[in-house]
Amino acid sequence: MNVVATPRGAILESATRLFGTNGYAGTTMRHIATAVGVLPGSLYAHIQSKEELLSEIVETGIDRFLALGHEVLASPASAEDHMYSLITGHVQLVAVNTDSIRVVYHQWRHLSGEARARVVEKRREYEAMLLSVIDDGIEKGEFVGEAHPNVSAKAILGALNWTSEWIRPDGPETSEEIGRQMADTLIGGLKSGRGSLSS
């Protein structure tokens, strides 16, 4: 199903995989053309430029995270439940769209102008959602008051983003199980100050 309906879709799919694996600068239009099965010049009947391709891939990828954030925060729930849903949802997104998301994380630097500014702003927006859940949890007393909200948000986001470096669709553990374990570990850090359970 959905074996790519349009030529443009096929180009985007191949470009996503190649940009994710070899990087934007390490991928040539000739690589993409070969993967799609056409000659290099033929790509330009469907796209305007290499950078337009990158811009679309990055934006599509980052919008998945924003959609997750908006969906999770729209539901009434405790801060802990919000955080649990964000963490497991984030891991799912990475597991299902690994290449696309690697491009979001590392290739946006090759964008310029408005496209780049938009990406930076959307990433900031997503991090702000994570931070708001932490602040909310501290305020409600679900998370310990000694938590460092800003660094905790960056620690959680880093742990989640880094899954794109090691998660494997054919790994021994399912991505759902990995998501649950990530949530356990990371939420544990918000509920326990250092030394709170021992000397």
- Positions in the binding site for its own copies (CB under 8 A): 21-26, 80, 106, 109-110, 142, 144, 146-148, 151-152, 154-163, 165-166, 178, 181-194, 196-198
Cα 193 to chain centroid distance, Å, stands at: 28
Q: Could you tell me which of 82, 68, 101 has the C-alpha nearest to residue 167? A: 101
Partner from DNA, its own copies, none contacting 132, C-beta within 5 to 8 A by type: none
Partner from DNA, its own copies, none contacting 166, C-beta within 5 to 8 A by type: its own copies
46 interacts with DNA by CB under 7 A: yes
Partner from its own copies, DNA, none contacting 39, C-beta within 5 to 8 A by type: DNA
**Residue (44 or 162) nearer to its own copies, CB:** 162
Q: Could you tell me which of 57, 98, 90 has the C-alpha nearest to residue 71? A: 90
Which residue intervals of 49-174 are DSSP H helices? 50-74, 79-96, 98-106, 113-140, 149-166
Helix-then-strand count for the chain, H and E: 8, 0
**Residue (9 or 26) nearer to its own copies, CB:** 26
| Spatial contact of 20 and 98, defined as CB atoms under 8 Å apart | yes
Partner from its own copies, DNA, none contacting 30, C-beta within 5 to 8 A by type: DNA
Among positions 93-122, residues that touch DNA (CB under 7 A) are none
**Residue (21 or 49) nearer to its own copies, CB:** 21
Binding mask 48-87 vs DNA (x if CB under 7 A, - otherwise)? -xxx------------------------------------
Measure the CA–CA gap between 10 and 180, rounded to whole angstroms.
Answer: 34
Angle between helices 7-22 and 50-74 (to 10 degrees): 90
